[in-house]
Structure 1
Amino acid sequence: MLEILSPETKRALIRNENMKKSGLTINIESIKSGLYRAIEMFLVTFYLFGAKAGTSIAFRDREAMDDFFESLHGQYSKTAYLASTIGRCG
């Protein structure tokens, strides 16, 4: 799953792991279809010190997004913690 990260996002994650102060924030936006309210997608965006880091990533369901964050946990422990503490937007 790490291959879907843009180079800028990977750099932001590595930089965040190597710094004492966490400047990385993660925004998860829930998007529901106008016609089919049961269809929900998730848009994940990474920000490093307020600046967008790379491209956003879209997931078709919550399970795929959760799998993505679990795969990040093996590489980036701070990121997994940040993802677990934020609420869902939307």
Structure 2
Amino acid sequence: MDARGPAIDARPALRRDRARFLELLRVLTPDDWHRPTVCGPWLVRDVVAHVLGDDLSRLSRSRDRYDRSGGGPSGGSSLYALRG
């Protein structure tokens, strides 16, 4: 056994959590998307975009084997400088 304790499969709980999150998104009104959240200046739409971005990043890393840890644009880089 690892010093952190036994492994726990959290996937079922995460699936339930995501299902409930999607249920909530389905009933949001257009006004709801513009409501403030406890996340500083972020609106509901910003939090949803962040979660979607995390999911797409995870998909890119696991399914497509894409890893940006080897580099990428640095602060202040122009799009022109990044073209291939």
How high is the TM-score relative to the length of structure 1?
A: 0.24
The structure with the greater share of residues assigned to strand is 1
State the TM-score, normalizing by the size of structure 2.
0.25
- Greater relative contact order: 1 or 2 (C-alpha under 8 angstroms, separation 6 or more)? 1
